[in-house]
Amino acid sequence: MSNERKPEWLEALQKTPLTSRLRRKESLKRFNTWRIGGNAECLVDVVNVADLSLLLPFIRKHRIPWFILGKGSNLLIPDTYWPGIILHLSGEFRGWEPLEGNSASEKNEVVAGAALADVTFAQRCVTRGWGGMEFLIGIPGTIGGAVAMNAGAHGGETAEFLKEAEWMDMEGNLHNSPRESLEFCYRYSELMGNYGRIITRAVFQLRESDPETVEKNLLECQQFRMEKQPYNQPSCGSVFKNPPGDYAARLMESSGLKGKIRGGAQISPKHANFIVNNGGASSADILSLIDTARETVFINHSINLELEVQILQSAVYG
């Protein structure tokens, strides 16, 4: 079987002077919020920029299938074997550091690592009285993913508060791009891993407020999630993008899709744009519900639902 053979590139990778840990045949189930997925030939817990600058050119040189992930909260991982490298950012990529600016344009700034949890970022802004990004409390991902996908909720989007992004190309070179030089739109940016640009950290400028107000907004966002979404079941968050002027959840609910089951997966009875793992769901179960939802909504509303969730596939070689 192909997944029993040792890839030619693996020996060279094991000789590369990395601080980061390499793991072979690693199950990807615990690296995504759906708790679904097969094994990866190699998973690297990338702990610093120096290691990333060695890994990306190595991947490019050897033309290895690869993917980068944080918490895997917007990702469907097939149950099949992954033949390449999964880069899982950790270590120094979890940093959070307020910047002390002297001018008004430099106030309320913080630099956050790409692997920092969105929830942690939102919570740390409370004590500083920095507002605007409280919506991150309900997004179970990382800052890198939030920037790459322009994550948002409750009328706010990540790009509104981004001042600068640091990213690495496939040659291992670091770049700093101001917000105005980057393209962002609804659930999209040009800083996505499959474009060969890996976010390492980002600088945000928050709104000046007070801790009480920020905490109040944070708790309201958190309460909304608990009341409206199946927060206590494995899911990827929103499966589909909202079409212009409408909501994917409304279209799905009006099409009678709420509660529909395939194997161990179910379109949530609580929120139709969430597909949950009721236990033992396979990637095929999830994909079947996705296909059913798209077909049914098109039949009933003549609208093609676009996926918000990503499906694991090989990124460009660079």
Active site residue ranges: 187, 238, 308
Q: Which helix (H) or strand (E) holds 156?
A: strand 156-157
Dihedral in degrees, nearest 10, Cα atoms 62, 66, 68, 74: 170
Which tokens sit at 163?
A: 């001042």
The answer to whether 75 touches 92, Cβ cutoff 8 Å, is no
Supply the DSSP symbol for 70. S
Burial readout 259-278 (b: 16 or more C-beta within 10 A, e: otherwise): ebebeebbbbeebbbbbbbe
The Cα 279–Cα 35 span in angstroms is 9
Question: What 3-state class would DSSP assign to 219?
Answer: helix
Name the residue type at position 80: T
Residue with tokens 């004590």, as numbered in its chain: 127
Return the closest-CA partner of residue 160 out of 145, 146, 140. Answer: 146
Other CB atoms within a 10 A radius of the CB of residue 305 amount to 22
Q: Beta strands 130-131 and 207-208: pairing type?
A: antiparallel
Q: What are phi and psi of 297, to 5 degrees?
A: -65, -40
Q: DSSP letter for 162, please.
A: E
Report d(CA 243, CA 19) in Å as an integer. 44
Of the chain, the end-to-end C-alpha distance in Å amounts to: 28
